[in-house]
Amino acid sequence: MSEQLPPSAFTASGEEVITRSIDIASTVSAQRPDSSSVNEFYEVERTAEIILKGDYKRVALQFPDELLRDAVSVYRLLKRIVGNGHDVYVLADTSYGNCCVDEVAAQHVDADLMVHYGHACMSKTSRLPVVYIFGRKPIDVEDCVQELSKLLTSVPDAGEMTTKSVLVRHDVGYAYRVAEVVGQLRDKTGLSILYHEVPTWVEPAPALPPLTPDNEAKTSTSSDSDSRNDEAPTSIIYIGEESLTLTNLLMTHSSSRVYSYNPITKSSRVESERTNRLLMRRFTAVQKARDADVFGILVGTLGVASYLPLISHLRKILAKAQKKSYTISVGKLNPAKLGNFMEIECFVLAACPENSVIESKEFYRPIVTPYELEVALQAEGTWSGRYVLDFGRLLAEYGSGNKTSNEEEDPDPDQPTFSLVTGKYRHARRFGAPETSDDGDTSPNAVVLRNQDGAMTVLQESAAALYLQTRSFRGLEARVGEDAPSILEQGRSGIARGYMDDHPTIDESDT
């Protein structure tokens, strides 16, 4: 009996794709416990009361992947209460991240209210009011208070903390029990603990006006009002698992000591020790952005308020720095999508705070945040370790452009710059310069094209065309006028299993 050869990678039948089982990685705490009812976990009665009180006619329900199994049950319970006068739609696949409110998908059904289930980044929306249903992740309040009290009293500067405030931040899934934790911590430690309740109903935020010197101070004051209390405390307590929320908290509060309590493992620890390591990784991305001349602005959200003014601001500062920029909307990011834009040397992601920091090594080009781009366009040594992820604060501080160093004319545009990434000097390519020089020569970034009639065309400031000129393979040759035209023939019709012009099979028994 001959040995059966393994199927080739190019001739596989595809059966293993259909029969393969896929394990969906999901945290246990994000799922609904079996002991909790659907009505209680998803707060169906509260949601129905808001729908009836506001007389919302078209309601969109947004579920994350790990909670999608309960979508039908929630839909039936809501319809039973609100009746036929209110249409309810379930949004399964989100356009970007599960934490963001998907206003784009809601507009497809012309919804006037959004109900968001599961983990949320709490970014302000721009079009629809939102009802947040965070769920109820299990937490042992007594153990949490005991672990945090032990950790706060064991630190070296515990005596100084009695005169200063401590801020409590948490995963939104524990919002229903955090107030109880804060009350017991105050009684047991005697510390001044600050806590801001997470809202469960959010109105759409008004669009930011164009920033001018007149309204810049007002915008800066209003945008910093929400975060002023977060910057004052010297210590922060985070309740939740290790996630992007904790990582962003460490980077945006690098001068504060951060403690965390994990309700799943029931353990607490000091998180501030890895803050410098996180910032150094981002500092490396900033240095790579300094060496880039062609940028791609990635639209990572369409629901966060003020994302359009931010994209316009990014285009403006890149043009002022004589950098080439392209605006790209690719939905959820992956290396294959961004690999199609090899002429782009660095990407800038405009997304919600929890999806802005991308540190995957699978991408071919570095991906930076808008604030990191601001730092990269400034002079060397201007970054003090401060980190900003909020769109409103970023626009308020840098929107007028008076804090960037590229407004002044460079006395010597041909002066090389030293790259900390390669350790060599480099000459930056400048886009947006005058098309012709004094002696009539074309710009060095221009590409001269010749068509089939012999006429020449100068294509100015095209980074994609310049990159194409450096490639060895530039596509199939047109060969216009060199080959004789082919005769038109009738094409095939039918399906791949059997086309209409295929020869009939011959039965071997008939021969």
pLDDT tens column, 262-319:
999 999 988 888 888 888 888 889 999 999 999 999 988 777 777 888 999 999 999 9
**pLDDT at residue number 378:** 85
Residues of the chain with pLDDT under 50: 1-2, 8-11, 28-29, 163, 210-230, 232, 402-408, 435-440, 442
Distances (CA, A) of 404 to 308, 325, 394: 20, 18, 12
Count Cα atoms within 13 angstroms, Cβ side, for 66. Answer: 17
Scanning 55-113, the segments in alpha helix (DSSP H) are 71-82, 103-108
**pLDDT at residue number 17:** 62
**pLDDT at residue number 227:** 43
Cβ(338)–Cβ(360) below 8 Å: no
Taking the whole predicted model, whether its pTM rises above 0.85 is answered as: no
**pLDDT at residue number 316:** 92
**pLDDT at residue number 381:** 64
Residue of 155, 202, 197, 166 lying closest to 179 (CA atoms): 197
